[in-house]
Structure 1
């Protein structure tokens, strides 16, 4: 039997015969801020920590500062909107644990899209089912599995240094968005309650 740590205590919510327990913190719940999206909440203090490291890729050591995360999240959101993504449309993300993963997720949400993560080791038929079930409009992936995702019939943004002619290159997309400036306007006015 597992012993509860000092941070949680079992709180039976059902009759003893149900054998069900829910573990809750001994500390009060943190209130969820109202009228702020997840990307806005995560990045609200990015300027205060601009030069501090926010994301690190364990394998390669590639790192992003908070300033870079905020810049690239805004840039990716702007780029997604310029590619035609609209509020409520799904983007399938087929990536391993890379430094850009958080930027991709936050950028999709900042653009009003719906993030749907997929296992990069999944079979192409499993990915096809997810794409169809979600009515996805776009895929974000990386070069080593491009051959697996290219048959899914959607535009593909590919992370990494390798250029693939029939795909949209992540670095070029972010660079173009950065050159376009900060005039990102979200026509659909994304709200916390949307997704």
Structure 2
């Protein structure tokens, strides 16, 4: 049986991508009781699916009327369970388990609201970075995330982005890849784990190569 709240997040995201009106569905989000939401999203997979979909949906909704890219992530325009959230709150507070935006993933932010702390994922999954960064892909391969198959979906989008965003210069022994792998490298387990992830995903021996990071 499908989870009501993850299904709601899927519907809002689907409408947002088509630039339709999701006002009535978003109103349901606002009037949810926090305790009910917490009880319903009682596994890490349910929480990841719900919050990734909500993040993606509101990125489309907010960016439609906001030209300042930094403001898109900082504006508190997401109304859930009588709480106001920003995209940054969802990414760093909920999906990164109350981490500071800065600090490479080493520092926990104690100043998040009780709502964010309560609804945050129970265990951080580095693959959420790829799910969030894939918003801007011209041909996204995943319409929305489903808790029943989210592990396979996250694996798929991680592999897709690493392959599309990573480039080799065999003469210079240089690998150029996405900057967020460096900016949040502690989320991945440290720089050695980032290199291992690249090597495993690309099925290429990168021993002796230097990593260089660029903005996507």
**What TM-score do you get using the length of structure 1 for normalisation?**
0.24
**What TM-score do you get using the length of structure 2 for normalisation?**
0.22
Say which structure is richer in strand. 1
Higher gyration radius (CA): 1
